[in-house]
Structure 1
């Protein structure tokens, strides 16, 4: 039973899976360290304002991805040192599945799609050219591009059981609502908008923009479900999504 569960859980050798997780985790730790070093230097104009780097979803996502892949490493190590004799998932696996399906994948994908969509239209609305002298090109791609391929690698490495659709989307909506409240609070407390594009919108346009941004999280959650089924096939765990 345990062997069957392991086969469903991972499509690769457990040691190779651990190696991949260690490499990705090290990459995120390095990227996060470089990002913090740059922002701590005071060169980044946004870091000197209210909320610091924590008002940016890109930075929050970077921390989130680092924590998630750190959790993957811990889970791999624990399961290697203490092999389970039951096919029931451990608490660590359950936490890893929830973290990936509800937060890491949809939020990471949102950061990728929203950033490059706005950047391709007018980069000054999301990443002003002045930042090129502060944030190296490779770091920009590490924060906004590489995240998606690494999430897809993780999706292929291990099968992740989604919670019920209503529970998953509700949890993601809670995260989106908290971040939106944080953005509005920053505006209220400091008089600045977190992202340049917000300063160019009328009140009605701002409502539409924030609404579309928040509501787009749900389709990304459903995209994660779909990709999971395409890669791993339909299982009994994926049939209770509409309740």
Structure 2
């Protein structure tokens, strides 16, 4: 099976995010020396989430290419788990957290070019609320200490 444009796009997006992360960490900024460093910025956290998400997408694509037609039940089961993780991460973290930044076009392209099984509304809301409350509590703690 040949690579399709969406798979090539995922690799390009992943490489660009990794490049941005490497260059961002190499820059000496005063905010990197304070509590939480880069992790206090939601934009940085989102960049990491997007890099991990597109890394999982690329891994899913590679696994799908390698296991296609093999008939190995264990490999198919592992691919199904990886696909479920990819879909969950898109619905719970990558899309909700990425809506406020310039990564939105990439997420929308991903949503249009691939079929996804979304988690139930209650579990998805519980997960994004947990992430949001955790970030707010952590950020509030940082604000009280400075």
**Counterpart position of 2:43:** 58
* Helix, strand or coil at the partner of 1:90: helix
**Are the equivalent residues in 2 in contact too, given 1:18–1:77 (CA < 8 A)?**
no
Q: Are 2:66 and 1:81 aligned?
A: yes
* Helix, strand or coil at the partner of 1:35: helix
Q: Are 2:140 and 1:184 aligned?
A: yes
User: For 1:31, which of 20, 25, 39 is the aligned residue?
Assistant: 20
**Counterpart position of 1:45:** 30
- 5+ unaligned residues in a row in structure 2: which ranges? none
User: For 2:118, which of 151, 162, 170 is the aligned residue?
Assistant: 162
* Helix, strand or coil at the partner of 2:4: helix
**Are the equivalent residues in 2 in contact too, given 1:61–1:107 (CA < 8 A)?**
yes
- 5+ unaligned residues in a row in structure 1: which ranges? 1-12, 113-143, 192-243
**Are the equivalent residues in 2 in contact too, given 1:108–1:148 (CA < 8 A)?**
yes
**Are the equivalent residues in 2 in contact too, given 1:14–1:76 (CA < 8 A)?**
no
Q: What's the TM-score once normalised by structure 2's chain length?
A: 0.87
Deviation at 1:34, TM superposition (A): 1.5
1:91-144 residue CA offsets vs partner (Å, 9 max, x unmatched):
0000000000110000000xx2xxxxxxxxxxxxxxxxxxxxxxxxxxxxxxx3
**Counterpart position of 2:8:** 19
Q: Provide the C-alpha distance between the structure 1 equivalents of 2:93 and 2:138, rounded to a whole number of angstroms.
A: 17
**Counterpart position of 2:87:** 97
